[in-house]
Chain A
Amino acid sequence: MTAYLVDTVQVRPADVASYVELVEGDGVAVMTGAGAAFMSCWTTSAELGEDVDVQVTWSFGDHTEWNEIRKNLVLDRRWHDFARRAAGLRTGGTRRFYYPVH
């Protein structure tokens, strides 16, 4: 089984580049260092006159594996710094876990 962590956040158009740079830089380093795999980073259009959705997907084997990743993250100072900077750039968002149907 593979499980997916999908964060869908709202970011002001002016902050999209900074947010994506943060995710693809420190975010990937911290998350993959903890054991997750980076799957994708997608955005909606910045030309719609509304905040942009940035959807980032990570994968791992199952919830046992996630528990280990979670532990590694909590013990990693870089994760707390990444989280603080990401929070400062987003205006809202959701976090969901997904699993393949088949």
Chain B
Amino acid sequence: MLRRYEMYSLDPNASPAAVQRLTQSFLECGRFVPEVLDSAVGTNLSDAPVRLVWEHAYESPAAYQRYMVHPFHACILDRPLLADSPERIVTSNDLGAGLLGYECASPVYRLAAGVRRLVLVDLSPDRSPAAAARFDEAVARASDGVKGLVVSIVAENSMAAAWFDGVTPIAPPPRWSHVWEQGWESLAAFEGYRAEGREQWPGFVRESASVHYELVTPG
């Protein structure tokens, strides 16, 4: 499977109606493009410079490629997004997380309700599997025995550079080499964890950022 995220900062002059249309188009996408699975959105609550997050997934690269050429993608989703569209309501930002994601064997990311959090890290200059394993260990230490953490996945951010077909990198390596996707039972559970200050990244984590939001699902 391909797990995929899009994160947007919004034009402060965008009308609430236009923002709502974009939000609804993300939520309803699966009705029109059945290849789009597990759509949910959220409004970022962290201080990272993005506001609207769309999380979703695809069964396979072939499913993703069908989504890419579906008219709903170009006609509805891209209308407020593409840089040259007269109806654009999103803006550029320096988070470097406009599109990211990873491969997984099954929908281990699923969270029916609660709070989603993404920790974005850059393991450069050493993005090797060994460095990723050391990051895994740091995540295990940070999350061991934590109550309310019901989803915890560490993965290479493979989608950012392979956004065209889900497989082939066509862009330079992204700012964030890896992602730690979390699912929390509640905002209170996450805030309790955050207050403990357990995330002490070793020196090989060159930089990190995080985004979290309460999950909004279709219907």
Contacts and interface: CB of A to CB of B under 8 A. Distances in A.
B75 A96 contact: yes
Contacts of A97: 71, 74-75
Given A95-B79, A97-B71, A79 B87 contact: no
B70 interface: yes
- Give the secondary structure class of A's interface: helix
Contact of B86 (A67, A79, A80, A90): A90
B170 interface: yes
Q: Is the interface of B mostly helix, strand, loop or mixed?
A: loop
B195 interface: no
A48 B69 CA distance: 40
Nearest to B84: A83
A87 B74 CA distance: 19
24 contacts: A7-B85, A7-B86, A63-B70, A63-B71, A63-B73, A63-B74, A64-B69, A66-B69, A67-B74, A70-B78, A70-B82, A71-B170, A75-B170, A75-B171, A82-B84, A83-B82, A83-B83, A84-B83, A87-B88, A93-B86, A95-B82, A95-B85, A97-B74, A97-B75
Interface of A: 7-9, 63-64, 66-67, 70-71, 73-75, 79-80, 82-84, 86-87, 90, 92-97
